[in-house]
Structure 1
Amino acid sequence: MSTLRLLVITYYWPPSGGAGVQRSLKFVKHLPSFDVEPTVITVDPEKGAYPVLDLSLAADIPPSVRVLRTDTSEPFGSYKKLTGRQQIPYGGFANESKTSLTQRFFKFVRGNVFIPDPRRGWNRHVLRAVAELYAKGERFDAVLTSSPPHSTQLIGLELKKRYNLRWLADLRDPWTDIYYHHELNQTPLARWLDARYERQVLEQADAVLVTSPDTKRLFLGKSPSLSSEKFHVLPNGYDESDFREPSTPPADALLITHTGTITETYHIELFLSAMDECARQNPDVPLRLRFVGKVSDGVRRQLEENDLTERTELISFVPHDESVSYLLRSTVLLMAIPDVPHNLGILPGKVFEYLAANKPIICIGPCDSDAANLLDECGAGRVLPYDAYGAMLEHLNNLCELWRANSSLDLPRLTHTRYSRRALTKQLAKLIKAPVSS
């Protein structure tokens, strides 16, 4: 079988850190095994803007894969100078406080001038890089554009028009339905233009990849001309090579670990209250909490209010391989779905790594979500609604009882690999090779 040549266009790429970068990275890592030769076009890290860095992820880039890095034209340099802030805002200013007049101004500019997002200035540099490749006689069979930033999808729109490439639009998150979209204070004209871009991408892409069934449902409703067959649910998955270390739950504590960002919008305050009460009811069980990643000031206050400060270990952002190690050195894993609009389709990438760690999972969030369905399918844990204090306390007490009998609560190892990065990349390769419909 001949090898197909694929352009992969993604803003987030090592040394960028965070969950978003790993999807494209793992696809690229495994694609050569399925007769697909990827060429990656990304931003020059000296010119781009990443919320976090993770130098360890570069080890996953196959030596045979060509990575082209381009210049960019973005507003974040001016933003830093005008505000005096060194860290760029998440979600394109959407996470910034509303109390400051300056922040409200920048949020308005972000929502009404930079449509669909502030990284659109990168697009022309990518298009120039692709044009130079074609001028040298290079040709590609398909292009995959990964977003957010959703402005990256406009690159795919243009490349399909110029070169008639088979185009796969990989949307890791919703677009105009993203939970913070209403905070952008868009004018009716800006909302119309943003929705128009979204609709054009969905209608003109040859295939649309999404990470959860509910996200597929949201996108399907954007245009009457869209068919279900165009959409393909490819979740984030886990990489088996990341889980070579043995599981070593502590023998001297029932340790519950959460990895990633946690803020007040995740509404774990009742769970923390149940933790405090459980500790009182089970004084012989050394109950411990560990957060690895960014913990908001509000959650820190909740820990203090529930007398959990002495029981809690806070660890700032760590490289991905260290994060996996923390999972394997835990008794139970905690995750939460943010209490925001359209949260039924939120399927965090870490849930698959939680599954691969073979630990019982406690999920705080809606019981009819895609995350809940996944945990039920795999028999991997319990989903508890935000307000289910009694169920939380009962579940924690049951875990204490089990821990008394055996300090390791590890589950049986996964008997299937359908959610492995390699298996998901195999599905992607089939989509790349699928014939273009007339």
Structure 2
Amino acid sequence: MQRCLKWVKHLPALGVEPTVITVDPAQAAYPVLDNSLAADVPPGVRVIRTGTTEPFGAYQKLTNRPIPHGGFANEGRPSLAQRAARFVRGNLFLPDPRRGWNRHVLRAVEQLLAAGEQFDAVLTSSPPHSTQLIGLQLKRRYGLRWLADLRDPWTDIYYTQALLRTAAARWLDARYERQVLAAADAVITTSSDTRRLLLGKAAELPSGKFVVLPNGYDEADFGAPSAPPAEQLLITYVGTITGQYHIEPFLREVAACIRRHPAVPLRLRFVGRVAREIEQQLAAAGLLPHTDIVPFVPHDESIGYLLSTTALLLAIPDVPHNFGILPGKIFEYLATNKPIICIGPVGSDADHILEENQAGRTLPYDATAAMAEHLDQLVGAWQQNPNLDLPAVSHARYSRRALTERLVALIRG
């Protein structure tokens, strides 16, 4: 959502007039909302809010359970009822349960065109990947230039196995994916590995229309100074984290480091959605007394947590095709000039970005000896100087404005 929001923020100043079609929040259902981000929409931008038809509200009322986060991050081990809901979701709602919004959007676009309005391009961003079927229909009906922005893989997305799909459902979902990739004038991805993955879906796909346009950070969000705490060595993670991120070995090494250095006040801080299994891992490692867990906060507050830490923790889910997983937070992490500890695959797109910016180190999931060594080095450096901020370097190529300039070039063809 922030990706599209920041594009909309910068497009008018770059000579492109966006019309945003989105859902009326009163008619849709989401796990969390951050209304503070609406302030980034320029006053002159037209925003059309439509109705929608989706099952999430009914699911919440019938089961008295919260709406699933992306990748079922808030469900942990699913109950029988949750497994049944996943089966229905994965087989009766293709590509996903948000598809009921599509007809409302198509009607809104039809009304705009019937009123004589003209548009140079259509941009659809997903997931939910059902949004791409809107672009497919608009391309077929009106021949509009169409940019399909896929922030994550489609049929290969890491939680697809949890949807319990039948062979017929997998076939249909893959068919939708191929149709979108073939018909779009440009396919935008957030990482090189995701580009490679999508390009391999069919032999006849032209590589030239597949473009990598990563996420980034908004320089305006980082006006406050860095404020690492002097009284403790604080490692902060911001965002959602579940058992799929495989940080349990790292947590055990943090606990061991605390035992080796009892005089150093080493603490962990998680800001955002922390799955129950992570809390259990923290408890098993004896880290709960050394850990702060802060529930979801608005985006501007999350930036404050990034700036008020010693170091930052990044984790890549331990799932298939994770070399192309490039969390949007990595660019905001870079903007803080804090040292970054990444738990994930070496050689991944995230690892390459950390390496080229000399911003931190990627540690494989079970590399406990390397974790212990790295934590000891961090402790030693902190004892010399509690401010471990890295030398300020320019990350301008990842600024939201610079990335929007590249988007404008794609829009204009």
Task: Describe how 1:8-27 pairs up with structure 2 within 5 A.
Answer: 21-27=1-7
Deviation at 1:94, TM superposition (A): 8.6
Change in 2 beyond 3 A, CA 1:82/1:346: same
Asked if 2 retains the 8 angstrom alpha-carbon contact of 1:94 and 1:183, the reply is: no
Task: Describe how 1:33-432 pairs up with structure 2 within 5 A.
Answer: 33-85=13-65, 87-91=66-70, 96=75, 99-432=78-411
Deviation at 1:283, TM superposition (A): 2.0
**Partner Cα separation in structure 2 for residue 80 and residue 261 of structure 1:** 21
**Partner Cα separation in structure 2 for residue 100 and residue 396 of structure 1:** 38
After TM superposition, the score normalised by the length of structure 2 is 0.98
Deviation at 1:110, TM superposition (A): 1.0
Deviation at 1:276, TM superposition (A): 1.2
Deviation at 1:338, TM superposition (A): 0.7
**Partner Cα separation in structure 1 for residue 302 and residue 280 of structure 2:** 24
**Partner Cα separation in structure 2 for residue 97 and residue 283 of structure 1:** 33
The code of the aligned residue for 2:354 comes to L
**Partner Cα separation in structure 2 for residue 270 and residue 91 of structure 1:** 24
After TM superposition, the score normalised by the length of structure 1 is 0.92
The code of the aligned residue for 1:371 comes to A
**Partner Cα separation in structure 2 for residue 345 and residue 406 of structure 1:** 35
**Partner Cα separation in structure 1 for residue 80 and residue 291 of structure 2:** 36
**Partner Cα separation in structure 1 for residue 299 and residue 19 of structure 2:** 24
Q: What does the per-residue CA deviation read over 1:178-210, in whole Å, with 9 as the maximum and x for residues that have no partner?
A: 011122222222111110100000000000010
Asked if 1 retains the 8 angstrom alpha-carbon contact of 2:50 and 2:105, the reply is: yes
Secondary structure of the 1:307 match is coil
Gaps of 5+ in 1: 1-20
Secondary structure of the 1:170 match is strand
Q: What does the per-residue CA deviation read over 1:307-333, in whole Å, with 9 as the maximum and x for residues that have no partner?
A: 211111110000000000100000000
Change in 2 beyond 3 A, CA 1:302/1:102: closer
**Partner Cα separation in structure 1 for residue 104 and residue 96 of structure 2:** 16
Asked if 2 retains the 8 angstrom alpha-carbon contact of 1:265 and 1:340, the reply is: yes
**Partner Cα separation in structure 1 for residue 74 and residue 97 of structure 2:** 14
**Partner Cα separation in structure 1 for residue 115 and residue 351 of structure 2:** 50
**Partner Cα separation in structure 1 for residue 76 and residue 234 of structure 2:** 34
Worse overlay, 275-284 or 385-394: 275-284
Gaps of 5+ in 2: none
Secondary structure of the 2:397 match is coil
The two structures, once aligned, show a CA RMSD in angstroms of 1.3
State percent identity of aligned pairs.
67
Q: What does the per-residue CA deviation read over 1:281-309, in whole Å, with 9 as the maximum and x for residues that have no partner?
A: 22221111110011111111111122211
The code of the aligned residue for 1:102 comes to A
Runs of 4+ aligned structure 1 residues displaced above 6 Å come to 92-95
The code of the aligned residue for 1:133 comes to L
**Partner Cα separation in structure 1 for residue 256 and residue 72 of structure 2:** 38
The code of the aligned residue for 2:7 comes to F
The code of the aligned residue for 2:150 comes to L
The code of the aligned residue for 1:358 comes to N
Secondary structure of the 2:264 match is coil
Asked if 2 retains the 8 angstrom alpha-carbon contact of 1:242 and 1:321, the reply is: yes
**Partner Cα separation in structure 1 for residue 72 and residue 382 of structure 2:** 44
**Partner Cα separation in structure 1 for residue 142 and residue 180 of structure 2:** 16
Worse overlay, 121-130 or 188-197: 188-197
The code of the aligned residue for 2:140 comes to K
Deviation at 1:95, TM superposition (A): 6.6
Count matched residues.
Answer: 413
The code of the aligned residue for 1:367 comes to V
The code of the aligned residue for 2:207 comes to S
